[in-house]
A and B are shown apart, each in its own frame.
Chain A
Amino acid sequence: MPTRRSMVIAGYYATAAVGSAAIWSTLALTILRHAPLAQVSTAWMLTGAYAAAMAWAAWFLWLYWRRLDEAAKEAQKFAWFVGSIGALIVTGPIMLFFRLGALPLPHGVGPGVPFGLGWAMLALSQGVGFLIAWAGWWQAKR
């Protein structure tokens, strides 16, 4: 049975995630519907939309962080430290395979697409590394 405390904490996290995704997708789709794609001005507008979404997420993640107890904070710090470094170590060889042409890159696209895919892969792998390290930390404390 979740306590009121845990529900409040989970609520802050969910509000950060869902709200920022909603803000980003709404603004980005609106911008892309009306603005030309390969324009610096469009990139700036999308950056503004991204900043708005991140500001929302940052506020609610700050409230989430303040409500976490010290053990949960230690778990987060450990998980981000170990998980993200682990992700960099693991994905380094993948980058080499792409760089040396051993893995195919998308054809007929501008250089921005592989760059964006690389960023997304790094973010995703750090997130996965975080989850594994976070679960491992709590498992070790049982």
Chain B
Amino acid sequence: MKNRLKVLRAERDWSQADLAQRLDVSRQSVNAIETGKYDPSLPLAFKIARLFAQPIETIFLDGQ
């Protein structure tokens, strides 16, 4: 699933490791989500939305 995670991260000048630490996941997981190769679970998606203070729908793009 496409997402704007990389853009949002870059706006805050965070590395993947920084974001991973804030989400309590591995850097590899952050990379997999950003590249659209792995879709986060609902709890993690909500956690990401809360971190960036944006609705989930503006971060993860359904594409349908």
A residues lining the B interface (CB < 8 Å): 3, 5-6, 69-72, 74, 138, 140-142
**Given known A70-B40, A70-B41, A74-B38, contact A141–B26 (CB-CB < 8 A):** no
A-B contact count (CB 8 A): 40
18 inter-chain pairs at a CB distance below 8 angstroms, sorted by A residue, are: A3-B17, A3-B20, A3-B21, A69-B29, A70-B25, A70-B40, A70-B41, A70-B44, A71-B25, A71-B26, A71-B29, A71-B33, A140-B37, A141-B28, A141-B37, A141-B38, A142-B35, A142-B37
Evaluate contact between A142 and B21: CB separation under 8 angstroms. Answer: no
* In the complex, residue of chain A having the shortest beta-carbon distance to the beta carbon of B44: A70
> How many Å lie between the Cα of A71 and that of B38 in the bound state?
8
B28 proximity list for chain A (CB < 8 A): 71-72, 138, 141
The size class of the interface chain B forms with chain A is 10 to 19
B residues lining the A interface (CB < 8 Å): 17, 20-21, 24-29, 31-33, 35, 37-38, 40-41, 44
B24 proximity list for chain A (CB < 8 A): 5, 69
Evaluate contact between A69 and B35: CB separation under 8 angstroms. Answer: no
> How many Å lie between the Cα of A65 and that of B30 in the bound state?
19
> How many Å lie between the Cα of A5 and that of B21 in the bound state?
8
Q: B24, B29, B40 — which one has the most chain A CB atoms within 10 A of its CB? A: B29
A70 proximity list for chain B (CB < 8 A): 25, 29, 40-41, 44
